[in-house]
């Protein structure tokens, strides 16, 4: 009788252990499924705009001074894109360039020079942009002085650029395009609105040193059906500074957001 009980108990223990062994992989598989599911959820939860904002870089096809051992041109790779003009139209395509070494006698710095094979507006380090022709707006006026507005249509929307600021002085100056008005402005602000929607304040400059803000480009670079902008915003006559604004990165209730800027100094 004792032997029978022992055999029975041993049989129960074996069955119980077997059940646990069979259940263990099932739990492990369930955990793996949950991890994969969470990974998918996390991937879907990524904010593409935020990720794009962090990685957008822009360069001009110009000469850049070495800053110690660093140079902005070092960031340029074969993955960069080129916003360029050809036969009166604008395109986004693969950057086609060479880089040469140079030397600035003015500053005594070694330099790197980007030579683009296209009529480049901007080199853009953002492979998420689609290549092809870009829908653009013809710029009727490239300077918007305080108390002035510039209206244009894009798609079915009417947009307005409106400027504020204090004019310290005004004068007529000779440029490559003939005689133009130049004003010395401080506390400059530039707003954008669409139809009757609230304005977006997107550009502010406290002062300028013989320079001013210049509108360089309006077009749908990111292909979301809304206009993007490129402005020249030199703060000093010995600086070339360009700012890219993309509509796809705008926060809720806003029309555009500053995505990247590049500033080249050529002072002595």
Distances in Å between the alpha carbon of 242 and those of 17, 23, 101, 123? 71, 63, 23, 11
Which of the pair, 127 or 18, is modelled with greater confidence?
127
**Domain extent listing, the chain:** 1-45, 49-265
The pTM is what?
Answer: 0.78
Q: What percent of the chain has pLDDT over 90?
A: 65
Q: How far is CA 186 from CA 135, 191, 205, 209, in A?
A: 33, 16, 7, 10
Q: Give tens-digit pLDDT for 15-74.
A: 444 444 444 444 434 333 333 333 333 332 233 334 344 478 999 999 999 877 789 999
Spell out the residues 6+ positions from residue 145 whose beta carbon is closer than 8 angstroms to its own: 163, 165, 167, 181, 183, 185
User: How many whole angstroms from its chain centre is CA 97?
Assistant: 21
Interval 183-222: pLDDT, tens: 999 999 999 999 978 899 999 999 999 999 999 999 999 9
pLDDT of the residue at 28: 39
> How far is it, in rounded angstroms, from Cα 183 to Cα 143?
10
Given this model, what pLDDT does residue 26 score?
41
Band (pLDDT 50/70/90 cuts) for residue 179 is confident
Region of poorest pLDDT, from 26-30, 82-86, 139-143, 198-202: 26-30
Supply φ then ψ for residue 54, to 5 degrees.
-65, -25
What pLDDT, on a 0 to 100 scale, did the predictor assign at position 173? 86
pLDDT digits (tens, 9 = 90+) for 148-176: 999 999 999 999 999 999 999 999 888 87
Condensed to tens digits (0 to 9), the pLDDT of residues 87-96 reads: 999 999 999 9
């Amino acid at each position: 009788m004792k032997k029978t009980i022992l055999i029975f108990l041993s049989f129960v223990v074996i069955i119980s252990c077997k059940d646990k062994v069979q259940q263990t992989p099932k739990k492990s598989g369930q955990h793996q499924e949950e991890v994969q599911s969470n990974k998918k959820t996390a991937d879907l939860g990524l904010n593409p705009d935020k990720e794009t904002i962090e990685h957008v870089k822009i360069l001009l096809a110009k000469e850049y001074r070495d800053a110690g051992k660093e140079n902005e041109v070092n960031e340029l790779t074969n993955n960069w894109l080129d916003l360029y003009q050809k036969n009166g139209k604008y395109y986004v395509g693969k950057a086609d360039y060479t880089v040469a070494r140079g030397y600035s006698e003015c500053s005594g710095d070694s330099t790197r020079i980007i030579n683009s094979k296209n009529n480049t507006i901007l080199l853009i380090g953002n492979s998420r942009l689609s290549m092809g022709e870009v829908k653009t707006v013809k710029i009727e006026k490239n300077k918007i002085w305080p108390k002035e507005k510039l209206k244009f249509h894009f798609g079915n929307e009417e947009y307005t650029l409106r400027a504020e600021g204090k004019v310290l002085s005004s004068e007529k100056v000779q440029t490559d395009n003939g005689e133009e008005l130049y004003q010395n402005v401080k506390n400059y602000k530039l707003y954008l609105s669409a139809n009757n929607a609230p304005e977006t304040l997107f550009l502010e400059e406290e002062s300028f040193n013989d320079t001013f803000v210049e509108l360089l480009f309006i077009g749908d670079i990111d292909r979301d059906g809304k206009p993007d902008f490129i402005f020249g915003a030199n703060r000093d006559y010995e600086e070339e500074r360009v700012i890219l604004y993309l509509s796809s990165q705008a926060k809720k209730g806003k029309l555009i957001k500053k995505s990247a800027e590049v500033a080249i100094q050529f002072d002595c």
